[in-house]
């Protein structure tokens, strides 16, 4: 008896805390493997793959991709004669971020984009999705962006569409601009997704933005009721400063902002390799939001537990693509690349992910 071919076998590179993996999995893609050099991220993926059916067949590889030949990846995940239909992932973005020093190709992390390209060339998937910060488009006066577009085409084998999205425009409770390069071997250029959410009172018939207040409302106080819901200890002086801030105002010492309950969050930030990643200031309590609250803002369900403590969790949360947006993008790609007719809605993805706090 022959084994039935999996639906859209997908390889995840630079997987991190699993935002892209989870989103594509709930959209019906078969995640065969996730690769990351961070052992904490790999433990997170292992921990959560056992909780739902979405990722039950995934293999997690704790590997340095620069020292891992593609042939070794194929052997480790036991592909044999099977093919990878889709490759997803975003090489570390700090080299291109407007929040960092913008070293670009002069930063070793920036050079990881070429490792991504190496694996695309070796595996020859039908499609790939390359995610990064929007700042990638302007670094080195745009030369890196143009070189990357040309390189990702693999000498014309792929038609590459590049889309810049403000994720709040798609029902994510956070202002977060990201660029997505979508390569398709069929020569198809993928149209941009149309916004579904926005400011009330505009001419477009959009749903209102999803707000911080909706996400954090009725959440238990920090403690053991939810995973990763332990916050930082603050001195009385910091508590008093946070209490006196207006919504949207930045604290001059910690340089983080007080969230406005009637707006999406500011972008969740990561910090450097040495630490420094922090949540924003809670809109109702004089404290920083916990990693769990940041994870909600990133649309991770409460059942998705991050392995590690402190900066290890904050980095996984802050680096992630929000799973809900990843699912919407994955559905869009299924339609235009693979010809799928059935469309899963925003509300259906909320249910699949278990995002009760967005209802």
Catalytic residue numbers read: 93
Q: Six-digit token pair at 152?
A: 């990702």
**What residues contact 236, with CB distance under 8 A and at least 6 apart?**
none
Instruction: Answer for the pair 11, 87: CB distance below 8 angstroms, yes or no.
Output: yes
Residues 6+ apart with CB under 8 A from 81: none
Under 8 Å between Cβ of 306 and 48: no
Task: Read off the tokens for 26.
Answer: 């709930």
Contact present, 294 and 306 (Cβ < 8 Å): no
Crossing angle between the packed helical segments 39-49 and 311-319, to the nearest 10 degrees: 70
Tokens 């990351």 locate to: 36
Ordered strands of the 159-166 beta sheet? 59-62, 30-36, 9-13, 86-89, 127-133, 177-184, 159-166
Q: Given the DSSP bridges, would you call strands 207-208 and 197-198 parallel, antiparallel or unpaired?
A: parallel
Cα–Cα distance, 84 to 75 (Å, whole number): 13
């Amino acid at each position: 008896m022959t084994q039935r071919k999996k639906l859209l076998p997908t390889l995840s590179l630079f997987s991190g805390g699993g935002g892209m993996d989870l989103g594509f999995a709930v959209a019906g893609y078969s995640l065969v493997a996730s690769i990351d050099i961070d052992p904490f991220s790999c433990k997170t993926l292992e921990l959560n793959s056992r909780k739902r059916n979405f990722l039950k067949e995934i293999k997690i590889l704790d590997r340095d991709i620069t020292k891992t030949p593609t042939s070794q990846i194929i052997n480790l995940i036991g592909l044999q004669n099977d093919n990878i239909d889709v490759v997803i992932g975003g090489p570390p973005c700090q080299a291109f971020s407007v929040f960092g020093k913008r070293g670009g190709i002069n930063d070793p992390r920036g050079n990881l984009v070429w490792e991504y390209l190496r694996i695309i060339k070796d595996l020859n998937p039908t499609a790939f999705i390359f995610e990064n910060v929007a700042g990638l488009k302007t670094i080195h006066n745009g030369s890196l962006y143009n070189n990357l577009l040309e390189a990702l085409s693999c000498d014309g084998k792929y038609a590459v569409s590049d889309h810049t999205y403000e994720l709040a425009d798609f029902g994510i409770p956070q202002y977060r601009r990201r660029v997505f390069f979508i390569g398709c071997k069929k020569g198809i250029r993928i149209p941009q997704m149309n916004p579904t959410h926005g400011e009330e009172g505009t001419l477009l018939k959009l749903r209102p933005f999803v707000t911080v207040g909706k996400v954090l409302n009725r959440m238990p106080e920090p403690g053991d009721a939810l995973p990763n819901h332990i916050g930082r200890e603050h001195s009385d002086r910091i508590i008093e400063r946070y209490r006196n801030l207006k919504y949207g105002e930045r604290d001059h010492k910690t340089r983080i902002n007080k969230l406005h309950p009637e707006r999406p969050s500011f972008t969740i930030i990561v910090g450097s390799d040495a630490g420094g990643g922090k949540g924003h200031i809670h809109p109702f309590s004089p404290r920083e939001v916990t990693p769990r609250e940041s994870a909600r803002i990133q649309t991770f369900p409460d059942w998705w537990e991050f392995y590690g403590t402190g900066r290890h969790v904050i980095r996984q949360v802050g680096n992630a693509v929000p799973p809900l947006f990843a699912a919407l993008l994955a559905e869009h790609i299924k339609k235009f690349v693979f010809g799928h007719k059935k469309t899963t809605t925003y509300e259906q993805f909320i249910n699949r992910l278990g995002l009760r706090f967005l209802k």
